[in-house]
Structure 1
Amino acid sequence: EKVMLKFMHHEADILVSTTIIENGLDIPLCNTILINRADRLGLSELYQLRGRVGRSNRRAYAYLLLPSEIELTPIARRRLAALKEFSDLGAGFKIAALDLELRGAGNLLGGEQSGHIEAVGFELYTQMLERAVREMKGEAGVEVTEIQLNLGLNIRIPSDYIKEENQRLRMYKRVAGVETESQLKDVRSELTDRYGEPPSAVRNLLEYASLKLQAMRVGATAIERKREFVNIKFSPTATIDPGKLARFVASQRGTQFTPDGTLKFSIKIDSAGGILQTLHDLLEELEAREEAARQV
């Protein structure tokens, strides 16, 4: 307390502290903060620390310090880029939404407070929220089997393609809400008409949505990729051709089809477009046709 009083009364011009100052500290005349090893801090923590300065009409500065010899992870780069992008008043919600996407929403029914996006993703969270809103309004909703896709690919709408944050969020919602290939085609046309030819990350996002629709058609409940290994989990009522499945398993070394309905195989392709196309082609090949359709 004595140290803080000295700092507030200008008896000391520099305060050296841990991250304990991220909450509850309000010194309007303090206008500069230096955050050492910013790569080790979370997005919400960095946002709170940055908020300790600039609490008056004085121009404020926040310097994020990193050792020159270290290489940032992709997640750390996204955190730091988000702080640079979301600097306007009221950006807290945008930061929180991105933090939720990066860290995951945790286990809603258990003790895990923050988890990985593999466990509970942003899309599932918004679907649960919409379902709760419909129930409160007394609206009947049709339950759709949820498809879990975790491919570890660059699927996003860059800020240099759609600059307005609210428009990016709207397009994310449009893509996540498509139920047919026709609706997805309309979204693709709207993007091209309004913002020009989509970059590769946006094309991947659209192909990702198309793959999800295809997975729903054949009865796949989950597709997960870790490095070059892919697992596709099929429901008991999946409409895939057993003969085609057996031929695929026999033709690919190391491929397995487990008793619980999971197809395990490898894809030795690095590009996001190539991975999505390979999965598209595989589901198209395995899908049973008309009278040949049988349950797995």
Structure 2
Amino acid sequence: RTLHLSMLGIRDLSIIDTPPVDRQAIKTVVARDTDDLIRDAITRELERGGQVFYVHNRVHSIGIVAERLRQLVPQARISVAHGQMEEKELEKVMLTFMHGQSDLLLTTTIIESGLDIPRANTMLVDRADTFGLSQLYQLRGRIGRSTVKSYAYLLIPGQGSITQDARERLKIIQDISELGAGFRIATHDLELRGAGDMLGPRQSGTVADIGFELYTQMLEEAIAGLKGEDLEERCEPEINLAIAAFIPETYIPDTNQRLVLYKRLVQADSNDDVAEVVSEMHDRYGRPPLAAQTLARIMELRIRLKQLKILKVDADGKRLCLAFHPRTAVSPETLINLIRTAPAIYQFTPDHRLLVTLPVNSSNNDTLEALASALTLLGA
């Protein structure tokens, strides 16, 4: 909720994304809970002189887990800590681990903030699918606090499936592991859980039902209305050119990556924004195929359509049809001059649509050039 208020401009926001010198990103792995994995991860850390956190967030069964760990790694000195222990006993356990007198701390989530133990650089989280995204991020932050490479193992049940929401959380925390990623994690958490009530007690909400961007847009419009401000009406042109314009699956196989690129192209506000996306595709996947290049070209034209407030463009192979918004930025004088100058190409219909005659046997490129030329003249 606090992050959402900051993104709306109601509260100030500052981001610290510069890590300490020589700090390394934490390698994060989502894996099935097996004896071999646990044994290997702990043994590897102990062999390089480090310490291990093992997070098990169930006090009633923490003793069973401790016995399992003693059988898997008998050479490890294991301490157990949880919030139901006596204060002095808990303090003694924590100091023992901090001073290096134990190798593995089996604990609940009481360690998720406030600890700085540079020698502890491996963490295993039991039943990671039951944790929230921000909670996993906080837990992971207990390791990797030195110049040594650190490893976080998010363990899920060896058998059975986990929920779709859990899969999404684990994928995000695994994929976003670079230094300074806290803001990105928080943004994803906001999208997953919702922003909550601005003036009420709930700290999570139902933003996911309509999408974060639409929710923010609706909220901005409501706030502007209450303030008596005139909010500029959004124009989202519909383009029907019967031209192949898409990012082929053979070019970018990953569906999520394609969706991210589509979203960035649709949200582009300038030709430079479109060019940046195309350049990124070229760098990561090679030269874009013709369909992707055509898509980028149409997105550039879409920006001009939005600026002129043209609602729709249709093409039937013989001509283009442009439908204008009632408050279009194109002046009547410009339209009249355009029709007078080239009446064989441009005509205006009684229902306020501009028809643009295309060359005979025009190609896809001819159609795009005709549209670009018309938009240039309309914007003059």
Q: TM-score, normalised by structure 2?
A: 0.39
Q: Which has the larger radius of gyration?
A: 2
